[in-house]
Structure 1
Amino acid sequence: MRTKWNLSSLWSPRHPRVRSLAGQVLLLQLVVVGVVLLAVAAVSVHQSTVEFRELQGQRMIAVAENVASTPVVRDRLSDPSVERVLAPEVDRAVNLSGATLAEIVTPEGVTAVSSDPTRIGLPAELGGSDVLTGRAWSGDVVVDDRRAIVGHVPILTATGDVLAAVSVSDDYPSTWALLSSAGARLLLYLGIGAGLGLLGSWLLSRRIKTHTRGLEIAEIASLADHREALLHSIREGVVAVNTDGIITLLNDSAQELLDLSGDVVGRHVDDVPLDPGVRRYLLTGEDGRDVVLSTSSRMLALSRRAATSQGHKIGTVTTMRDSTELASMQSQLSSHKSVTDTLRAQTHEFANQLHTISGLTQLGDYDAVTEFVGTLTRRRAEISDAVTQRISDPAVAALLIAKTSLAAETGVSLTLEPDSRLHALDPELATDVITVVGNLIDNAVDVSEGGPHATISIRITDGDGILIEVADSGPGVPESMREEIFSRGVTSKTGVPGGRGIGLALVRLVSAQHGGFASVSDAPGTGGALFTVHVPRS
């Protein structure tokens, strides 16, 4: 039954629906636009303030110097009604310069004349000015709680003494006035920027909503959690590789089947300790074709499919299953079939021999019957003695005797090398040796059958572990296939379907499980293949 996911069920009635992802992005973009506008405005205000301070500071000093150099000001400073006499001069300075305030200050720092009559007699706001020491100064002061830019110029005597000081100040404009002074163009640019920012934010939110299929944050997170849970709980291994050969997904089963440890996601396939056959299949395997590969500890059934998104290939997904037990059962079935074929061949042979004996008996040639039976007995004894004298393990010896008869039935001569020696084995190791020897002989018979000089030679030695060598008179194995030949479904035999090849894969698997090895090279003298397998006893 196929499970259907209802996205609306991901929301629980007990949890209120939060703002949508598109809405959150839109709100974030609006905040960013607002912050940018405030930053631009702050920079504009700062620049306008700096320009106002520099320009107005120089202008205030120029106005103050103009008042200080007026002859009537110098001449009437000592007049008892100086505040009334010089009032027109300070008013004129204010009117002509546009300043906020103009004053004449006594050497004691008291306002003597001012364009604001209420300040006469009050202490002047000099700030950090050193005008009373005879130096002109420009800077910021606070006048009646208002920040202003002021210019101070001293009125000196001929001997350099300070008679008084002229102070001309202008209040700093408001923030809005500073922004306005930056020009209508700046305000226009800010408005256009704000409009474009709002439009871009809205379009981005719509695009995000489209690409997320209308899902919200909680729904996406829930789907991701379900995906991880499903991928890591299934029994089959799953490996995803992108178009650059980077592993993007590896579930727990795949990590166990491939004997990997640590986090390999994000690494290139070539940088991961994989069996060469598996690595080659992940990178260059044929999509849609199931294969079975043998590693050092398992027989794996792999299936590779291309992964696409919106019509574009984004990588491949390979699933794998452990087929070690299945391969073992297939090997056992093959062994049983081999025994059946051997029995069939022997039955056929015995039937022919019985027919011969029956015919001789009917002819009354009993001497010929005796001679014929003796010949058969000696031949059977020679085959058995040739094997049992060198092979002490009864199971392996029985296999070699049966395979010799079966090979002879197909026209192939199977011989055991004279220097072969094998002691008795424990039952478990004997079973594995039988699997190796039986599969190697079956493979050799298949490739040698029908040849002009079909021969197979076997050497089994029991020294530093069990060394098995099987040489045939077949076409041999090309050097480019000598590693691949031990993979399931790969064979060098012409006319054999791709489903064959389980025997050599099992040979490699059995030897690797014991810590040994399996290899193939050219057979000396025959031009065929020489398979060498080493199976340690421990």
Structure 2
Amino acid sequence: MGAVRFWLANLYTRRKLTLAGQYLILQLLIIAVVLAGVITVSLTQATNNFEKIEGRRSLSAAESLAANPLLRVLLPEAEPEMGSALPAMGESVRSTSGLQFVTIADPRGTVVTSSYPDEVGTSILHPESAVTEGRGWTGEIWRNGNHVLIAQVPVLDDEGKMVGIVSAGQSYPSTGEMIQEIAPNALFTLVISLLLGTSGSVLLARWVKHQTRGLEPREIAELFEHREALLHGVKEGIISVSPDSRVMLANDVAIELLQLPSHCVGKTLDELDVVPQVRHALTTSQELPDRQFLVGERVLVFNRMPVKTARRDLGSVTTFRDKTELTLLEQELGDSKATADMLRAQTHEFANQLHAISGLIQLGEYDEVVGFIDGVSFSRSKIFEDVSACIAEPTIAALLIAKSSVAAERGVHLKMAPSSTLGRCEDQLARDLTTVIGNLVDNAMDAAAAAANPEIQVRIEETSELVRITVRDNGEGIAEDAMDEIFTQGFSTKDSAVSGGRGFGLAISRLVCRRRGGELAAANVQGARFTATLRK
């Protein structure tokens, strides 16, 4: 069958046969093979029938001649080519039975008379013959290139002594003769098979073309090649999921980004054990574009499109891309913008204070001016001293000072732990620390705002290998069942059309920590405590 498929493929390539033509050729080949098998079986059956019928007839004729009383009397004294009685008896039996030859031999097997004169004086004993043991035997021999069926019977006298052998037989019909005999049936079978095969090929081709929307095999192959090239050529991940949550298609990018096994096509999402946020993205309807989810350490943007035809629901096709670096840049830009807004707020605050000083001077309240300036100076210098005493990195120091101003405006007291320390950092580490500290402090301010005396403590510790940040608040703490979800809820439950999404602070912070070989963990210790580690 492999050779047939190869031949059909070459013929199809050269001649561009239609689907019906290919089916017809295949059907003709099958009919030819079946017909050859039928002829072979028929020849075998004809041979078996010949052996059965002619064997019985030959054995019956030999037994009839061997039972002739005159043969029993004449055979013991008979010599080759002496007398005409024995040849006459043999020829009589041969003509009556319709056999090809009859041979009479003495007890030693030497031919006395035969329908073939050239056999007279030769031996008719066969190695497989049991006639010398006093039993009749039927078998086949080759005589002068002819395949012959013979029967040999012993000739016994009145005392049971073997006095000779009678042999009778018929040549096997040739293959051509047997084919001529079965030709009418074979020809009838061939004609019927051709009619059925041709009709079946045409109907099958029409049905297949209906299923393939009129496409020929060559067109289907080209369409498949184009689809494969498209799937594996794009940089975005593409995955198709059926209504029963079975993966029907996935390109290499999708397998890599979603952390799926290479043999995922054909398996359900349950069998693949995909993470909940991926299942949510692949199976739920999407009203707004660009849903963002955290998968492993990557921020992926998903767009899901249902696929339906007039007859049935085909599931959905989801495209997605890696937006990790862009999300981090957006987060850093957002932090920078927040810092700038805070500096503008402080500039506005300083302007108000200068206006107050100017007014006091104009009123001549010089003692009040001095007291007002001392108060403002002490408040600012206390914040600056607390931060600058332990934080040498300007970016982080500026961030903490700005955050303390925002916290003061919201009625939250932000303080640095006395044991905090941080030296100068390389640029990338400083940016990562800005992202983590900014997010943790913002979340802590939201959590502590509802407390009676809202307070936040920030501790920064540095070793030769890593930087550890601990941010504590005195709020209500974190619900135990949400202890793990707080790092992914922005990606798994909140959809937003806002660039960068909402609720991504903790997830981004954990992502930054893990990218630097660290971790971000949460615990409840008289409020919420977040501990972040970043390796240098």
Structure 1 position 395, deviation (Å) = 1.9
Instruction: Give the secondary structure class of the aligned counterpart of 1:456.
Output: strand
**CA 18–533 in structure 1, closer or farther in 2 if over 3 Å, else same:** same
CA contact (8 A) 2:421 2:461 kept: yes
1:155 aligns with 2:155: yes
CA contact (8 A) 1:30 1:197 kept: yes
Letter in 1 for 2:232: H
Hey, what's the Cα distance between the residues in 2 that align with 1:471 and 1:373? 33
Structure 2 partner of 1:397 = 397
Instruction: Give the secondary structure class of the aligned counterpart of 2:387.
Output: helix
Tell me the alpha carbon deviations over residues 286-324 of structure 1, each in whole angstroms, 9 at most, x when there is no partner: 557632234565433233345568855566543232323
Identify unmatched segments of 5+ residues in structure 2. 1-12
CA contact (8 A) 1:277 1:487 kept: no
1:87-486 counterparts in 2 under 5 A?
89-90=89-90, 93-94=93-94, 97-107=97-107, 112-114=112-114, 116=115, 121=120, 123=122, 127-128=126-127, 129=129, 131=131, 134-142=134-142, 145-157=145-157, 162-173=162-173, 199-240=199-240, 245=246, 248-251=249-252, 253-254=253-254, 263=262, 276=275, 280=279, 286=285, 290-294=290-294, 298-306=298-306, 311-312=311-312, 316-361=316-361, 363-449=363-449, 453-463=453-463, 465-472=466-473, 476-479=477-480, 481-486=482-487
Hey, what's the Cα distance between the residues in 1 that align with 2:116 and 2:43? 33
Structure 1 position 381, deviation (Å) = 1.5
**CA 336–131 in structure 1, closer or farther in 2 if over 3 Å, else same:** same
Structure 2 partner of 1:12 = none
CA contact (8 A) 1:136 1:154 kept: yes
Hey, what's the Cα distance between the residues in 2 that align with 1:256 and 1:248? 14
Structure 1 position 106, deviation (Å) = 4.2
How high is the TM-score relative to the length of structure 1? 0.78
Hey, what's the Cα distance between the residues in 1 that align with 2:454 and 2:193? 89
Structure 2 partner of 1:517 = 519
Structure 1 position 135, deviation (Å) = 4.4
Tell me the alpha carbon deviations over residues 447-505 of structure 1, each in whole angstroms, 9 at most, x when there is no partner: 55466554433222224521112234556555555444434844899999893033333
Over the aligned positions, Cα root-mean-square deviation in angstroms equals 4.4
Tell me the alpha carbon deviations over residues 41-79 of structure 1, each in whole angstroms, 9 at most, x when there is no partner: 433443453354345434432331222012132234457
Tell me the alpha carbon deviations over residues 163-194 of structure 1, each in whole angstroms, 9 at most, x when there is no partner: 33212213435668879999x99998898777
Structure 1 partner of 2:508 = 506
State which drifts further: 100-109 or 24-33.
Answer: 100-109
State which drifts further: 321-330 or 172-181.
Answer: 172-181
CA contact (8 A) 1:412 1:445 kept: yes
CA contact (8 A) 1:33 1:198 kept: no
State which drifts further: 241-250 or 441-450.
Answer: 241-250
CA contact (8 A) 2:391 2:423 kept: yes
Letter in 2 for 1:231: L
**CA 445–40 in structure 1, closer or farther in 2 if over 3 Å, else same:** farther
**CA 213–516 in structure 1, closer or farther in 2 if over 3 Å, else same:** same
Letter in 2 for 1:536: R
CA contact (8 A) 2:110 2:124 kept: no
**CA 100–223 in structure 1, closer or farther in 2 if over 3 Å, else same:** same
State which of 15, 21, 24 in structure 2 corresponds to 1:17: 15
Instruction: Give the secondary structure class of the aligned counterpart of 1:414.
Output: strand
Structure 1 position 398, deviation (Å) = 1.4
**CA 475–335 in structure 1, closer or farther in 2 if over 3 Å, else same:** same
Hey, what's the Cα distance between the residues in 1 that align with 2:343 and 2:416? 21
Letter in 2 for 1:514: R
CA contact (8 A) 1:485 1:491 kept: no
CA contact (8 A) 1:416 1:457 kept: yes
Structure 1 position 151, deviation (Å) = 0.9
Hey, what's the Cα distance between the residues in 1 that align with 2:435 and 2:428? 11
Report how many aligned residue pairs link the two structures. 516
Hey, what's the Cα distance between the residues in 2 that align with 1:352 and 1:494? 41
1:71 aligns with 2:72: no
Structure 1 partner of 2:5 = none
CA contact (8 A) 1:291 1:488 kept: no
Letter in 2 for 1:517: E
Letter in 1 for 2:69: P
Instruction: Give the secondary structure class of the aligned counterpart of 2:227.
Output: helix
CA contact (8 A) 2:439 2:509 kept: yes
Hey, what's the Cα distance between the residues in 2 that align with 1:91 and 1:311? 85
Hey, what's the Cα distance between the residues in 1 that align with 2:525 and 2:349? 33
CA contact (8 A) 2:520 2:533 kept: yes
Structure 2 partner of 1:534 = 533
Structure 1 position 507, deviation (Å) = 1.3
Structure 1 position 147, deviation (Å) = 2.7
**CA 79–513 in structure 1, closer or farther in 2 if over 3 Å, else same:** closer
Identity over the aligned pairs, expressed in percent? 37
Hey, what's the Cα distance between the residues in 2 that align with 1:364 and 1:284? 74
CA contact (8 A) 2:264 2:272 kept: no
How high is the TM-score relative to the length of structure 2? 0.78
Identify unmatched segments of 5+ residues in structure 1. 1-14
Hey, what's the Cα distance between the residues in 1 that align with 2:531 and 2:444? 13
